[in-house]
């Protein structure tokens, strides 16, 4: 089996669209490199009075269209190449929905499930102090990602504010409402994905009641997507998380499942009695990918749909709630099998879109109501879907290539206009 490297995959995707766009070689070369990558040591006192040193990263891929934007994840498998790839994907994502950000990403190699809340707070505050030289409301605005949340963003905002001597809510997004967060931010990625899926369903003349959904991952994105698709009238027949899988061919009781997860300390689906369980994450995901459903939504980590399992997928649509869940080799197989892939840089862009709304509100100290936020999110996601679909139909290509053509072209235009310093 080929060893997966997310950075090589991201560059491969860029190379493909560069050929399609006949991209200037100099611009192509610039986009193939990250502007800066910061590696930091994060030493903290653990609860047992020992010192442990973690490694952290903050990568900024491109700043041509505005300050950098991207989440921070805490995970034992974080690597520099993964963070670089995620930063590049963020650049394209922001450009696809046409918001004035460049792409960034951050991460710490750690296992937060084995750390106390106090240890996670110490880790977050020390990380913030180490990366504060390159983040800020005008420079780089972090956000939640895998295993981080509004509380982590609160600690980042507070630590950064102590350093500059005044409250700086615009340094992060995804904060609690009480300290400058935005209404609708927590569920924005799931809501944005639902909007893209709904437009795709209308394009293919699919009725919600006849559209069965399977979701891999039931964290913030997967659970929000399940909720919105259930409200749309789609039967959610299967979900998985790290505790295993849950299946009900008649459709899960999504509100009851969400309430169950909310009550669990680890926020897992295990123990819910509204469907058949399959224990073990690898086995559950393998079974999920083989289900006879209309839509499969991978909402976990990257490198989930590969050449090894793409041929088993029976879904009509794959909606990428996660970043980079499908490899280029799998894309070829899916395209040949007639599967419509709604690419990550379009489908999960709702989160960064409402993060942009939050940042604007913080800078202006004027806050919007939820109706205004939902209306603007719907407008942007719907417009972006149709822009990507129009390119796909014109160029006779899949939606991923079309989305990349849209995003990369916008960034390349900015690079050309700004030129090369000095």
Catalytic residues: 105
The whole-angstrom separation of Cα 83 and Cα 61 is: 10
Output the six-digit token pair for 27: 């611009």
Look at the block and give the residue holding tokens 């849950």: 246
Output the six-digit token pair for 295: 């839509």
Look at the block and give the residue holding tokens 């089996």: 1
Going by their DSSP bridges, the two strands 68-75 and 51-62 should be labelled as: unpaired
The whole-angstrom separation of Cα 193 and Cα 56 is: 29
The whole-angstrom separation of Cα 73 and Cα 95 is: 22
- Would you call 392 helix, strand, or coil by DSSP? helix
The whole-angstrom separation of Cα 178 and Cα 102 is: 27
Output the six-digit token pair for 268: 């897992």
The whole-angstrom separation of Cα 329 and Cα 305 is: 9
Q: What is the DSSP string of 296-355?
A: EEE-S-SS-B-TTTGGG---SEEE--SSS-B-HHHHHHHHHTTPEEE-HHHHTTHHHHHH
- Angle between helix 6-21 and 399-418 (nearest 10): 80
What is the Cα 400 distance to its own chain's centre?
15
């Amino acid at each position: 089996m080929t060893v997966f490297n997310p950075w090589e995959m991201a560059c491969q995707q860029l190379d493909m669209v560069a050929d399609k766009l006949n991209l200037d070689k100099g611009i192509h070369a610039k986009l193939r490199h990250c502007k800066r990558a910061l590696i930091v040591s994060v030493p903290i006192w653990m609860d047992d009075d020992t010192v442990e040193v973690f490694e952290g990263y903050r990568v900024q891929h491109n700043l041509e269209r505005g300050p950098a934007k991207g989440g921070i994840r805490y995970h034992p498998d974080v690597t520099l190449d993964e963070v670089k790839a995620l930063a590049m994907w963020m650049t394209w994502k922001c450009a696809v929905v046409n918001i004035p950000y460049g792409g960034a990403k951050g991460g710490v190699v750690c296992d937060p499930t084995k750390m106390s809340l106090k240890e996670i707070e110490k880790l977050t505050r020390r990380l913030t102090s180490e990366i504060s030289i390159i983040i800020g409301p005008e420079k780089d605005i972090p956000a939640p990602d895998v295993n981080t949340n509004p509380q982590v963003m609160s600690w980042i905002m507070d630590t950064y504010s102590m350093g500059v001597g005044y409250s700086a809510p615009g340094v992060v997004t995804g904060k609690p409402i009480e300290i400058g967060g935005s209404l609708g931010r927590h569920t924005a990625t799931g809501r944005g994905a639902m909007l893209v899926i709904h437009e795709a369903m209308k394009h293919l003349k699919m009725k919600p009641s006849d559209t069965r959904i399977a979701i891999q991952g039931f964290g913030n994105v997967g659970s929000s997507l399940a909720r919105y698709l259930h409200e749309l009238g789609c039967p959610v027949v299967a979900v998985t998380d790290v505790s295993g899988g849950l299946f009900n061919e008649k459709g899960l009781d999504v509100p009851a499942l969400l309430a169950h997860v909310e009550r669990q300390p680890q926020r897992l689906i295990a123990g819910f009695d509204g469907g058949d369980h399959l224990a073990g994450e690898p086995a559950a995901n393998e079974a999920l990918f083989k289900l006879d459903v209309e839509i499969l939504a991978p909402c976990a980590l990257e490198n989930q749909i590969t050449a090894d399992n793409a041929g088993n997928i029976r879904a009509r649509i794959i909606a990428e709630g996660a970043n980079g869940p499908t490899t280029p080799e799998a894309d070829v197989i899916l395209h040949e099998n007639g599967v419509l892939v709604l690419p990550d840089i379009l489908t999960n862009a709702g989160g960064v879109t409402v993060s942009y709304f939050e940042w604007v509100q913080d800078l202006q100290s004027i806050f919007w109501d939820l109706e205004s936020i939902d209306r603007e999110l719907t407008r942007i996601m719907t417009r972006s879907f149709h822009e990507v679909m129009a390119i796909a139909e014109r160029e006779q290509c899949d939606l991923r290539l079309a989305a990349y053509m849209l995003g990369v072209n916008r960034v390349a235009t900015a690079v050309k206009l700004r030129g090369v310093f000095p």
